[in-house]
Structure 1
C-alpha cells in the first residue's frame, strides 16, 4: 500500500473550510441561545477574513509563481482556489438563511436589526439628527475622475461606491466613494434597534454630493494579503522592521471584494477596474458586510438572558487558600484545566514573584498576552524593582504584532531583557520560570501551558496549566531559556521535548511503539490541527497494525479515517461548542509516562518551524485527570462531529438508551461539584461524586 497516495489525504484548506462550517452549524443550532447563535455568525465571519488574508493570499502567490503542488493531497493552487470559491459561494445560501432566521427570532425578543428605510418616521428623525451630528463631519465623500484618483483602501476597509449624474447635465455619469472610518460603529443603536451604518449614509448621499442625483450605490469591503514577509537575518533592528511590515500589510494585494447583493453592473466594473480584483473573488451579500461587527449586538447587556448561562471559573484546592503559590508548588504538582478552573492562580504566580524580595529572576515566553495584561504589568514592576526579568516576546504572533510591540518597548524601558524571537523560527512555547533565593541555595518553579498567558482568552479557551518545582523540569527550563538568549544551534532537553529538534521524532517513536503492540496498542490525541504527513503515515501504519487510535481534532485534519486496510482503526471527532477547544493532550498506552501536554499541534509549522514544548506528566493523579478529560470528550454526542472517509463531518448521535453528553457542560458540572462540596468540607465525597459523574457519562 502506497501511504503517500494523494487519495489518503484531505486538502488542508478544504478541511479548514469544513471547520468553519461547523462554526456556522452552531449558529443554526436552535438549542443554542439566540445571541450565542449570532455570535457564531460573527466568529464565522472573522475566521473567514483571516482565511482570505493568509491562506487564500498564499495560494494566489503560489499560483503567481507557478508552483504547482503544495501538499500530500497534490491539489494545485489553482484547483484549491477554484474549490474554495465554489464551496463558499454555495455556503453563502446557508449563511443568509441562518442570519435572517436569527434576526427574525431576535425581533420577537425585542431586539431589532433593520435598515434605515424600514424605520418608522419618529425613529428616522432621531437617526437624521444622529447623521448630521455624528456621521456627516467624519465620513469622507470622494470623487473619482481624471483629476481625483481612486484612493488607497486599507485592509478590511468599508465604504460605499456611488454612480451619480449631474442634475444640470444628466448625460454625464460620474463615480464616487464614501469612506466609512473604522472609528465609527458598524451599527447605530437607538434603544434596542440596530441600524447598519451604510443604510443611514445611503439615505443621506445627496447631502454629501449636493447638486448630483444618486443613480446607484452599494456597500463594499476589501480584503488584502495580510501576511508579512520578513527577512529578519538582514535586519539590524527587528522592531523597526516589524513596524515597516505592519505598514506594508495595509498595502497588500486585494484578494477578496465583498459587495451588497444586486449591485449596479457599472459599479461592479468600476470597482474591478480600480481594485484589480479577480471577478471570481467577488462575494455579494444580502446581509450586512463585516460579520465580525455583530459582536456590537451580542454584547448588549440588556439581552444577556439570550446568551449561555455564565460560568464562573473556580479556584480549587490546593490553590484556594491565601498561601503563596510557590509554597504550594514546592510541595506538590498542580494542574489546572481552563476555563473551568480559573486562570487567576497563573496571574497570581507572576504577581507574587514580582513582589517577593527573595525572588531573583522571572523568565517567560509571551505570544498573545492581550491589551491590558496584568502579567506583563507584573513583569514591568519586577524589572523596575531590580529583579532579573527575561521576556521572549514573539513579535510574529499573527495579528497581535502591534500589541506585542507595545509591550516589548514597555518591558525594555523598565529594564527587562527582551528577546524578539529566534531567526527563522516563531517561539510558540508557553513557559514561565521563577528563581528564588532560599538561604544559601536556589529554589525554582515552572509553569507550563498549552495556551497563551492571556487572562481574557483563558475564559473562553480550554487549556491546560501545569505547575511544578521538580528538579528535572526546572533544570530543563533553565536550558530552554539559555537556548533562547544565547548562541546555540541545537539544544537537547532531558525531560521536556522541544521542537524543531525533539518533539516530532519523539511523537513518531511513541506512535511506532504502539504499532509494535498491535491490537493491544492505544493512542488518544487531542489537538487543534493534524496536518504533518510523516505523523499521518505513522498513524496509518499503526492503524494497519490494529492499534486503536482516537483523535480529537478541533480544526484541520488532513488524515482520512475509516479507509479499509489503512485507517479503519482510526476514529476522528471535532468538538465545537461554548468554549474553543485549544488544549493539546496526548495519550500513548504503553509509554511511561503515557500522558503528555504540549503547545504544539501536529503540523509541519509546529514540529519543524517553531519553538514549541511538550511535557510528559509523571504525576499519576494529574495524568489520571487528563485521561478522564480525554475520555469524556470521546463520549461527547452533542457537540462532537465525526470525520467520515469522504472528508465530510456528521454529528455524533447518542446510542439508544444513552443520555446526551455535552463534554463542556459536564466539565462545568464536575468543577462546580468539586468547588461547592469543598466549601461544605466534603471534599473526598465530592471527588468520588465527580469521578462517578464522569464514569457514568
Structure 2
C-alpha cells in the first residue's frame, strides 16, 4: 500500500536539532543524548497534532472547534504540571537532566518558544478559519460593536441581574493589596481615572469574573434576526465596567488569566492520606504562577505590572488575540442545536456471546470475553457488577477505582452489593490527578454503604484496572475477573478507546487475588503465574520479551500500542532489537522519546500517532515469537512512572480467536492513511495522506463500521 505524506510545511514545525548519524563502521552509542527526544517537547508536539484537527474538514465543524479548545485544556495541564515541575527544579536547585541531555533552563526556553508559536497559530485558526466558517453556518459570536439596540438592552439587563450582584471589583491601594487570584480564573485589570467616594485615587483595579457564571451566553431569538447568536461574558463586563466604579472613568479594561502550579506534593510517610490530600487540594488553587495570558491590546505598563505581581518574566507571557480561556468555548456544542455540524451518534454494540445470555457468569464461563470500547458497549462491565451484587452465590467483590465518578453505576453496584451483605472492598486511588476531590467523595459514599475502602500503597499510585468476584458454584469457589486498559468511567468509555477483558481462568483469578492481597494487606510480593505487575515484574518481563524477539533476528516482530514511551531501558531494548533485524511498529498516541529510522540504530522501527474522534487509550504489547505470538493488554504505558512507581497490570490474551482479533485491530491502525502521523528521524511528524487512487482508510471510522450498530 502506497501512502503519501503532507509536505513539511504542513507538518509539525518544532523539531529537535538536526540528527548526527555515526559514520559507517562506528558503534552507535545507545546512551548518546541525540538518540532520545525530550519528553516535554514531545508532549507539546502531541498537543499540536490535536490542534491540527481543527483544520481537518473530515471532522464536523463544531467538533473542529472542540479540538481547538482541547488544545487549550491540554496546554493548561502541561503548564500546571510539567512546566511547574521544571520551575520547581530551578527554584530549589534540584536540577535533573534526562537521557536527552537538556537542562531545565534550556528546556523552559525551548518550551516557551514552541508554545508561543503554537498558541499564535491556534488563535489564527480560531479567528481566520473557524469563526468565519461558523458565520457561514449562521452561528455568530456577537461582538460589542455589533450589538443592536435590542441586544444591548438585553445585555444591560443580564449584567444588572446576573453579573453585578455577584462580581467583586477590587481597587488597588495600600488597604487593598493585589488579590490572590484562583488558578486559571478569568480576571480583568482596569485602568481608572478620578477619585472615589473616599477620595482615593487608585489608578487600577482588578475584577475577577464570577466563576459561577457561564463564559458564553446565547442571546434570545427575540433580539436577533436569525441564527444562533452568542456573546462572551467578557464582552458584557467590558461593556459595563464603568458601572462597577461609579463616578470614575474607566480608561481601559483588559482580560487576563494566571496559570498556577497545580501539582500536589505529599510525603511518603503520611499517617492519614485522605486528610493530607484534603489540605493539599486547598493549596492547588493558589500555587506559584507559571504562565500569564493577557489580551494583546493591554498596555505594556499594565502587562509589566502583572508580571511583577506574579513573579514572572516575558518568557512566561502569552498575549492573545481573543478570549484568554478558549477551553470554555466548548460550550458552543451545548448552546447550539446543530446536529448536522457534530459527529453523528452511534450505538455501541454488544457481542453475540452475551447478547443472548441472561447471566454474565454463564457467558464468561463459556469463553473469555474481550470488548473494545467505545465501539462495543461498556454496559457488560456494569452488568457484571450488578448481577454480582444481586446474586446470592456471590460472596465477595474487590475492585480498584482510579477515575470513576462518584455517581456512576459502577459505584452504585458496589454500594448495593455491600448493603446486601457481601464482602466488598474498593481500592481507591485518591491521587488520580484532578480527580482527587471526586475520589474523596467516592470513598465517603462507599464507606457509608458498608464497603471496605483502602487507598492502596503510599508512594505507588494504584493504576491497575481490576475487578475480582468470588462466586460459589457446585460446592467450590470460582473467581471471575475483569481487567482493563482504561478506567471504570462510563463517560470516558464513550470517548476513550480501551479494552475490557473478562475471564474465569483459574491462574488469572489467583493472580488477581494475590494482587489485591498486596494492596489491602502487608507482606512480601507473592509469586504471580500469568500477570506481569508493576513495580515488580512488568518492566523486566517487557525487556526480556523484547530481547527474545531480538534473538529471532529478522523473523522477530513487535507491535506496541500505548499512549507514551519514555522509559530509557525499554527504548534501549527496542534499539537493540532493531539492530538485530526485528520489525517494530509503535503506535504511540502522545509522547515518544525514541528516535526512529536512524541508520544502524532504529532503522527497523516505525512510530505513528493516531489522532481522531476518540482518544486512543488502549495499551497492547504484541510479540510475534516466531509464529507463536504472545499478546498482552495492560493498564501501563512505557513510562518510568508506570513501570517503576505505580501498581500496574499486564494480562495475557491467550484464546486464539481473541489473539487474532487483537492482531487485526493493530493492523487496522497500521493501515490508517489519513488520521495517522508518522514520526521522522528529525523529530517532526508528517501526516499520512492516501496516494493517488488509494482508498481513504481511517482506523477509527473502520472500527466504527465493523463493530457498532450504527456508524457515525
Aligned 1:27-42 pairs, distance under 5 A: 27-42=54-69
* CA 1:172–1:143: 2 relative to 1, 3 Å: closer
Q: What CA distance in whole angstroms lies between the structure 2 residues aligned with 1:156 and 1:130?
A: 24
Superposed CA offset, 1:531-554 (max 9, x none): 000000000011111110000000
Residue of structure 2 equivalent to 1:683: none
CA root-mean-square deviation:
1.7
Superposed CA offset, 1:564-609 (max 9, x none): 1101110000000000000001110007551110000000000000
Q: What CA distance in whole angstroms lies between the structure 1 residues aligned with 2:360 and 2:97?
A: 48
Q: Contact 1:370 / 1:456 at 8 angstroms: preserved in 2?
A: no
Distance apart, 1:387 and its partner CA: 0.7
Runs of 4+ in 1 over 4 A off after TM superposition: 167-173
Q: What CA distance in whole angstroms lies between the structure 1 residues aligned with 2:260 and 2:457?
A: 28
Q: What CA distance in whole angstroms lies between the structure 2 residues aligned with 1:294 and 1:350?
A: 37
Q: Contact 2:456 / 2:520 at 8 angstroms: preserved in 1?
A: no
Q: Contact 1:165 / 1:171 at 8 angstroms: preserved in 2?
A: no
Q: What CA distance in whole angstroms lies between the structure 2 residues aligned with 1:450 and 1:99?
A: 35
Report SS of the residue matched to 1:211: coil
Alignment equivalent of 1:98, drawn from 119, 125, 138 = 125
Residue of structure 2 equivalent to 1:423: 458
Deviates more, 1:128-137 or 1:88-97: 88-97
Distance apart, 1:173 and its partner CA: 5.5
Q: Contact 1:586 / 1:596 at 8 angstroms: preserved in 2?
A: yes
**1:239 and 2:266 correspond:** no
Q: Contact 1:498 / 1:613 at 8 angstroms: preserved in 2?
A: yes
Aligned 1:475-624 pairs, distance under 5 A: 475-590=510-625, 593-624=629-660
Q: Contact 2:120 / 2:320 at 8 angstroms: preserved in 1?
A: no
Report SS of the residue matched to 1:652: strand
Superposed CA offset, 1:194-223 (max 9, x none): 111111101111111001111122101111
Residue of structure 2 equivalent to 1:267: 302
Residue of structure 2 equivalent to 1:110: 138
* CA 1:495–1:393: 2 relative to 1, 3 Å: same
Count of aligned residue pairs for this structure pair: 674
Residue of structure 2 equivalent to 1:217: 253
Distance apart, 1:168 and its partner CA: 8.4
Taking structure 2 as the reference length, the TM-score comes to: 0.93
Q: What CA distance in whole angstroms lies between the structure 2 residues aligned with 1:5 and 1:656?
A: 40
Superposed CA offset, 1:170-203 (max 9, x none): 9955110111121110112114211111111011
Residue of structure 1 equivalent to 2:430: 395
Q: Contact 2:195 / 2:201 at 8 angstroms: preserved in 1?
A: no
**1:648 and 2:679 correspond:** no
Q: Contact 1:593 / 1:616 at 8 angstroms: preserved in 2?
A: no
Q: Contact 1:217 / 1:264 at 8 angstroms: preserved in 2?
A: no
Unaligned regions of 5+ residues in structure 1, if any? 677-689, 691-697
Of structures 1 and 2, the one with the larger relative CO (CA 8 A, separation 6+) is 2
**1:177 and 2:206 correspond:** yes
**1:57 and 2:84 correspond:** yes
Q: What CA distance in whole angstroms lies between the structure 2 residues aligned with 1:279 and 1:207?
A: 33
Distance apart, 1:129 and its partner CA: 0.8
Report SS of the residue matched to 2:486: coil
Distance apart, 1:490 and its partner CA: 2.5
Deviates more, 1:578-587 or 1:309-318: 309-318
**1:628 and 2:657 correspond:** no
Q: Contact 2:635 / 2:650 at 8 angstroms: preserved in 1?
A: yes
Q: Contact 1:554 / 1:574 at 8 angstroms: preserved in 2?
A: yes
Q: What CA distance in whole angstroms lies between the structure 2 residues aligned with 1:521 and 1:655?
A: 29
Q: Contact 2:112 / 2:315 at 8 angstroms: preserved in 1?
A: yes
Report SS of the residue matched to 2:657: helix
Report SS of the residue matched to 1:242: helix
**1:368 and 2:395 correspond:** no
Report SS of the residue matched to 2:29: coil
* CA 1:92–1:301: 2 relative to 1, 3 Å: closer
Distance apart, 1:157 and its partner CA: 1.6
Q: Contact 1:8 / 1:73 at 8 angstroms: preserved in 2?
A: yes
Residue of structure 1 equivalent to 2:150: 122
Unaligned regions of 5+ residues in structure 2, if any? 1-27, 221-227
Distance apart, 1:446 and its partner CA: 0.3
* CA 1:593–1:496: 2 relative to 1, 3 Å: farther
Q: Contact 1:492 / 1:502 at 8 angstroms: preserved in 2?
A: no
Q: What CA distance in whole angstroms lies between the structure 1 residues aligned with 2:273 and 2:497?
A: 33
Q: Contact 1:368 / 1:454 at 8 angstroms: preserved in 2?
A: yes
Residue of structure 1 equivalent to 2:73: 46
Superposed CA offset, 1:293-334 (max 9, x none): 112112235112101122211112111125111111111111
Q: What CA distance in whole angstroms lies between the structure 2 residues aligned with 1:480 and 1:153?
A: 44
Residue of structure 1 equivalent to 2:348: 313
Deviates more, 1:393-402 or 1:265-274: 265-274
Q: What CA distance in whole angstroms lies between the structure 2 residues aligned with 1:416 and 1:400?
A: 20
Report SS of the residue matched to 1:72: coil
Report SS of the residue matched to 2:166: coil
Superposed CA offset, 1:138-188 (max 9, x none): 111111111111111111121111110116899955110111121110112
Deviates more, 1:35-44 or 1:368-377: 368-377
Taking structure 1 as the reference length, the TM-score comes to: 0.94
